[in-house]
């Protein structure tokens, strides 16, 4: 007998319940549509397996700068959606009118008509409704660079998807459709126009000028977690999305990773970035220091061919974003004859002395050896 909680539990009873639960889980899996279990292997981009359903999903891919978020989304889109997608970028000036649509004047000769001009969301919504057997995707790059809650407006309500069929299936709704339809007269009326194909309202839409996101339309967004001075996604908004962390991964074979960094002909980009990523959480004591790491694609091959380009990109990020409040725990305040008081000083010092600009604990540089090498190079000249 095992004493558990308020009463004794017999081992035979425990085993019975374990087996029963296992059988119920297996039965539940069999009842799920096969499309729910569809997955796309993306080992070629060095990422974990991403579960991509044939049923509409709203996913935010987030991670540190340069970790390959957009690249990952693009690989998924190429594999699953082919040409059936629209890609947009949120920014501080982007609005609901840009996203959904707005009424604009249409001048024909001396006549002026005011018509609804559909935005990318409404356009791809119409395509999805008109082609139920094809999959469509709306890609939103940098979703937190715009005021997402304001941009989505009433469309926000459509992000809740049907997790299971119920009595509403009698009205034509399917698994993956929006759980709650909304009333939007402008979108509803435009869907019935001939522009880009008229939607059969009787079959596709419920009454009362209501619209919904269909099961064959997914929304993928990317979010850079290190950006400062951008809009914050509130909890109510985020909880309606599936959140996928895109990790920093140097494990795949890529010529970029093995290229030497300018300023130090012995160190590869991979070793340089991984060393900095080891120290950033230690030096940056903020609660979100993991968001300040450097992704594997933070620099390009061209950046690694020019010392100034490399230094400008790396040190601008480190100086202003990563160690803004405790710079001299990461960098020296003086390297030989160069005092480091500004970002320009740091870049100039790196061009002259390379990795010596970092505190000696970062790359474990022996200053006497470095000075000796410098003098040797001067003598050779």
Give tens-digit pLDDT for 138-172: 999 999 999 999 999 999 999 999 886 554 555 66
In this prediction, residue 140 carries a pLDDT of: 97
Residue among 339, 247, 312, 327 nearest 280 (CA)? 327
Q: Judge whether residue 349 has pLDDT over 60.
A: yes
**Residue written as token pair 């977690």:** 225
In this prediction, residue 31 carries a pLDDT of: 40
Q: Are 45 and 68 in contact (CB under 8 A)?
A: yes
> Residues 211-232: what's their mean pLDDT?
85
Mean pLDDT (the chain) is 81
Cβ contacts of 224 within 8 Å, gap of 6 or more: 62, 63, 64, 65, 69, 142, 144
In this prediction, residue 264 carries a pLDDT of: 86
**Residue written as token pair 């309500």:** 157
Confidence of residue 209 (pLDDT cuts 50, 70, 90): confident
The CA-to-CA distance between both ends of the chain, in Å, stands at 85
Angle at 363 between CA 360 and CA 364, to 5 degrees: 55
> Residues 212-237: what's their mean pLDDT?
86
Residue-wise over 98-112: b if at least 16 C-beta within 10 A, else e? Answer: bbbbeeeeeeeeeee
- Both structure tokens of 280: 């950033």
Q: Are 176 and 32 in contact (CB under 8 A)?
A: no
* Rounded Cα distance, 55 and 52, in Å: 8
Q: What is the 3 state secondary structure string of the chain? A: CEEECCEEECHHHHHHHHHHHHHHHHHHHHHCCHHHHCCECCHHHCCCCECCCCCCCEEEEEECCCCCHHHHHHHHHHHHCCCCEEEEECCCCCCHHHHCEEEEEEEECCEEEEEEEECHHHHHHHHHHHCCCCCEEEEEECHHHCCHHHHHHHHHHHHCECCCCCHHHHHCCCCCCECCCEECHHHHHHHCCCCCCCCCHHHHCCCCCEECCCCCEEEEEEEECCCCCCCCCCHHHHCCCEEEECCCCCCCCCHHHHCECCCCCCCEHHHHHHHHHHHHHHHCCCCCHHHHCCCCCCCCCCHHHCHHHHHHHHHHHHHHHHCCCCHHHCECCEECCEECCCHHHHHHHHHHHHHHHECHHHHCCCHHHHHHHHHHHHHHC
175-179, 297-301, 325-329, range with greatest mean pLDDT: 297-301
């Amino acid at each position: 007998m095992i004493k558990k909680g308020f009463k004794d539990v017999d081992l035979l009873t425990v085993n019975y319940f374990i087996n029963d639960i296992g059988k119920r889980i297996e039965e539940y899996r069999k009842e799920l549509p096969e499309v729910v279990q569809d997955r796309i292997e993306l080992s070629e981009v060095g990422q974990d397996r991403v579960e991509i359903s044939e049923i509409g999903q709203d996913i935010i891919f987030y991670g540190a700068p340069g970790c390959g978020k957009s690249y990952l989304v693009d690989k998924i889109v190429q594999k699953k959606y082919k040409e059936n997608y629209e890609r947009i970028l949120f920014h501080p000036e982007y609005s609901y009118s840009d996203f959904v649509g707005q009424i604009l004047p249409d001048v024909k000769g001396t006549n002026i008509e005011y018509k609804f001009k559909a935005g990318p969301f409404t356009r791809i919504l119409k395509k999805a409704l008109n082609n139920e057997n094809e999959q469509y995707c709306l890609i939103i790059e940098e979703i937190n660079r715009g005021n997402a809650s304001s941009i989505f407006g009433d469309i926000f309500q459509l992000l809740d998807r049907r997790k299971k069929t119920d009595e509403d299936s009698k009205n034509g709704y399917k698994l993956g459709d929006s759980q709650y339809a909304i009333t939007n007269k402008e979108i509803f009326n435009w869907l019935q126009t001939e522009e880009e194909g008229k939607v059969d309202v009787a079959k596709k839409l419920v009454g009362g000028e209501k619209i919904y996101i269909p099961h064959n339309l997914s929304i993928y967004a990317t979010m850079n977690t290190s950006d400062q001075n951008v809009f914050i996604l509130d909890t109510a908004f985020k909880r309606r999305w599936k959140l996928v962390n895109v990790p920093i991964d140097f494990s795949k074979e890529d010529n970029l990773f093995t290229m030497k960094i300018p300023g130090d002909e012995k160190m590869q980009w991979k070793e340089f970035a991984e060393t900095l990523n080891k120290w950033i959480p230690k030096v940056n004591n903020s609660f979100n220091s993991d968001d300040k790491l450097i992704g594997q694609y933070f620099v390009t091959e061209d950046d690694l061919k020019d010392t100034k380009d490399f230094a400008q990109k790396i040190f601008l990020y480190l100086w202003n974003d990563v160690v803004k409040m405790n710079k001299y725990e990461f960098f020296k305040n003086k390297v030989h004859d160069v005092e480091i008081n500004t970002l320009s000083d740091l870049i100039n010092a790196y061009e002259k002395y390379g990795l010596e600009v970092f505190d000696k604990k970062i790359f474990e540089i022996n200053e006497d050896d470095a000075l000796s090498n410098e003098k040797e190079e001067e003598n050779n000249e």
